[in-house]
Amino acid sequence: MKVQCILCDRPSELEDDSTLAKKLRNRPIHTYLCQSCYDRIKVKTEARLASGSFQLFSYNTQDDDF
């Protein structure tokens, strides 16, 4: 089964019997993430959770000071 990563457009081939291929068959193909993008998002998400959402808030309000 051919799939394409939604972030980097890298095509890859999945084993038809793999769990991921079975999952993707029931969903649109663009839900696939390659391993490197998946890891990158996972790291980003974990970093954001660790720093908390308050930092994002102060980033947004910084523009108002100028």
CB of 31 or CB of 51, closer to Zn ion: 31
CB 13 within 8 A of CB 3: yes
DSSP letter (8 states) at residue 6: T
List C-alpha distances in Å: 35 to 10, 21, 30, 39, 57: 11, 14, 14, 6, 30
- Position 37 contacts Zn ion (CB under 5 A): yes
- Position 24 contacts Zn ion (CB under 5 A): no
- Position 34 contacts Zn ion (CB under 5 A): yes
Options 1-9, 17-25, 39-47, 55-63: segment touching Zn ion (CB under 5 A): 1-9
Instruction: Return residues touching Zn ion (CB under 5 A).
Output: 5, 7-8, 34, 37
